[in-house]
Amino acid sequence: MAALDRMISVEDFRRLARRRLPKSIFEFVDGGSGQELTLAANRADFERIRLIPRVLTDVSRPDLSTSLWSQTLPTPLVISPMGSCALVRPGADIAIAKAASARGIPYTLSTMATTSIERMAKAVEGPLWFQLYVLKDFDFNLQLVRRAEKFGYSTLVVTVDLQAGGRREKDLRNGISIPLRPSPRHLLEGLAHPGWSLRLLRGGLPRFENVRGYLGDTSAGLTIAARVGSNLHAGFDWDDFRRIRDWWKGRLLVKGVLHPTDAASLVAAGADGIWVSNHGGRQLDGAISSIDALPAIRHALGSQVPILIDSGIRTGMDIIKAGALGASAAAIGRAALFGATAGEAGVARVLDILLEDIANGLKLAGTPAFSQIGPDLIA
């Protein structure tokens, strides 16, 4: 634990992940699609934003809470849906969810998680959301939604930016797939990282637990993006969305939105909130960054509709900037998964680093509460 206490940033955990994971696995987590233009823009566009702090305000007790619908969350953090987490460490999904739950942070389970809907619900008492990839078989989509409903997931997150799997060149070169089909290169990488290899052998080879039997021939050496992409419903349209909205009686977020007209149309069609995302730079390469897309979407939706944002968030200051531009909450994916290389304690440390950074940032910005952040904070 003392060693983790010396970790002071998400970037420290990224470097830890680079050391502890085989190169192919690290590049699967860390990389993006194509030339990684969008991946780079996600960070660059956060970094160019400048703040104008206020002074002589009482910031002795910074309030990190935020409101989503009629619910108050203790922090403006959410965990993004992530597939294939067990490639980093067996049980990583549950480790992330437990660390999040202890801080009142919602955890979003991916359709392509390596932990099932049922197992996650039994393992974690905190707020759980379920993310749906819209697959070709609508009967199977309905089964997934009903399973999430049965096991108490409070919010459905429908992802709409995965009409096909992004062309992730690093994964194509590295041959990362689920189930893993070890090549001589992978075996050499595994020998160079014995701790990772032993944990994987003890935990068993990861599988997409929620779609067992659905993805077809798993003997074919497709990359993860290609295998998922080949089963997605590329014809997903507005009628299909309304169908899913009719299935789900609880709160529904739509994830993967970058255009303000789409955002407004989705709310008109029944979405309860919009999740601004370019999939962490893993889908359309050359897409606008999420933080650059955010202001126009907030303007299109007005002040009442909840907006979440992900893609490129690495610091508490990023979350404050997102709040100033209109986000109700910010979601992290890679940052939590980097922490999971050190197990649940590593994830907990990442979350605490971010929360401490938000609290400190609010003080230095002269803003007593996250909910009071507005565009006047932006230069």
List, in order, residues 6 or more apart from 241 with CB less than 8 Å away. Answer: 158, 160, 254, 266, 269, 270
Closest by Cα among 316, 370, 345 to 102: 345
Dig out the tokens for 198 from the structure. 């032993």
- CA separation, residue 315 to residues 161, 309, 337, 352 (Å): 25, 14, 15, 11
Residue 246 counted as an annotated binding residue: no
Query: Does the annotation place 33 within a ligand binding site?
Result: no
> Coil, helix or strand for 369?
strand
Q: How far apart are CA 377 and CA 365, in angstroms?
A: 8
Residue 83, annotated as binding a ligand? yes
Structure tokens belonging to residue 103: 């801080």
Annotated ligand binding at 7? The verdict is no
Selecting among 193, 233, 259, 279, the annotated active-site residue is 279
**How far, in Å, CA of 97 to CA of 118, rounded?**
14
Taking Cα atoms as reference points, which of 282, 156, 155, 266 lies closest to residue 229? 282
279 is catalytic: yes
Beta strand 307-309 with 273-276 is parallel
Check the annotation: does 110 bind a ligand: yes
User: Is 277 annotated to bind ligand?
Assistant: yes
The verdict on whether residue 153 carries a ligand-binding annotation is no
Query: Would you report the helix, strand and coil content of the chain in percent, each value rounded to 5?
Result: 45, 10, 40
The residue among 81, 112, 118, 111 whose CA lies nearest residue 96 is: 81
Q: Is position 334 annotated in a ligand binding site? A: yes
Q: Is 249 labeled as ligand-binding?
A: no
> In Å, what is the CA distance from 377 to each residue of 54, 240, 291, 346, 360?
8, 40, 15, 32, 15
Torsion angle, CA of 215/217/221/227, rounded to 10 degrees?
-20
Residue type, 144: L
Q: Does the annotation place 311 within a ligand binding site?
A: yes
Active centre residues (catalytic): 279
Residues making up the annotated binding site for FMN are 81-83, 110, 131, 159, 255, 277, 310-314, 333-334
Bind-site residues for glyoxylate:
133, 168, 279, 282
